[in-house]
A = this chain, B = another copy of it.
Amino acid sequence: MTSVVQSLADVNQQLFEAKKTKKLSFEQIAQRMGRDEVWVAALFYGQAKPTDDEVDKLIDVLGPWVDAKAMKRHFNPHFFPERGQLTPMPPTDPTLYRLYEVVGVYGYALKSVIHEKFGDGIMSAINFSAKVDKVQKNGADTVRITYEGKWLPYDFHC
């Protein structure tokens, strides 16, 4: 029941603290790093690997509130994220659960339409990006989430 941020590595917690202190949004950090907002949030949660250059930018954006040395030591070339352990499944948090519910309710519909449009294969979750937009629909605030993943057709040949 520890908050998910408290369960992260020290440098990740430091990132969140620095962001709070500097009152920066993920969008602002993303713009200054030249990366996507959701990717930056994923990086904060330990779900992405930055390049050395991106670590430098991160230090630049959040300094002096992050320990540059610890940051570089952590995000070294040998650092590879262990992804996905953060989120209990099924998620108990309603904001997360709705994303899960969509898979349960519309999963087969999405699978069928993907197959009709592309054939036998999958949307990659690796060569993949996601974004969140605030749009108006019928006069109401609406959350638009866009996933884009490379099409990977099944291809089995030794």
Contact = CB atoms under 8 A, between A and B. Distances in A.
Contacts of A37: 113
A112 B26 contact: yes
Interface string A1-36: 111100111000000000110000111000000011
B101 A94 contact: yes
Nearest to A51: B120
Contacts of A146: 144-147, 158
B102 A130 contact: yes
Given A92-B104, A94-B101, A100-B100, A126 B117 contact: no
Contacts of A135: 148
Stoichiometry (number of copies): 10
Contacts of A111: 80, 93, 95-96
Interface in A34-48: 35-39, 41-42, 44-45, 47-48
B96 A108 contact: yes
Contact of A127 (B20, B116, B155): B155
Contacts of A89: 89-90, 100, 103-104
Interface in A139-155: 140-155
